[in-house]
Amino acid sequence: MKKIHLSLIVLVSIIFFNCSKDKGPVDDNQQAENVSFANDVQPIFDQNCTSCHPSSGNLDLTSANSYSQLVNVDASGFSGKRVVPGDADHSVLFKKIDGSGAYGSNMPLGGSLSATQIATIKQWIDEGANNN
């Protein structure tokens, strides 16, 4: 009888623990789906970056070249990688857009990205900077 009682307690605990991890509704600070490079990140570059970066700073952010020039590529003029997959806080790209000034002038030069655009790029990097 003790084994059945103990088994029942363990079973109920497992069920309760799994139910308590229910994702529930997504709040405003959390995006439900993975960020797509092609659908979410590249349009930000197209709208805000490619007018200066088909060549400026030895960086081409046009759709044909941006991914291969960002991920695991040494930053031109700075110590570090442009994008470190899984680590936005150590990615020069993110630090250039987050307003920190950690790598010189904030980008885009003379402007800024919206908080949503910055969060999208950060999430993409933190998710592993996939070419999706």
The string over 44-74, giving b where at least 16 C-beta atoms fall within 10 Å of a residue's C-beta and e elsewhere, is: bbeebbbeebeeeeebbbeeeebbebbbebe
Distance of alpha carbon 102 from alpha carbon 92, whole angstroms: 8
pLDDT per position as a tens digit, 85-111: 999 999 999 999 999 999 999 999 989
Q: Is residue 44 a contact partner of residue 51, using CB atoms and an 8 Å limit?
A: no
CA distance 79 to 83: 12
CA distances (Å), 107 to each of 27, 31, 89, 100, in order? 28, 24, 16, 11
Please report, in angstroms and rounded to a whole number, the separation of the first and last CA atoms in the chain. Answer: 54
pLDDT of residue 35: 98
pTM of the complete model: 0.75
Residue 22 has a pLDDT of 40
Check residue 56 and give its pLDDT.
80
Ranges of residues in the chain with a pLDDT under 70 are: 1-32
The tokens describing 81, both together, are 């990688």
Q: What is the pLDDT of residue 1?
A: 52
Give the model's pLDDT for residue 55: 78
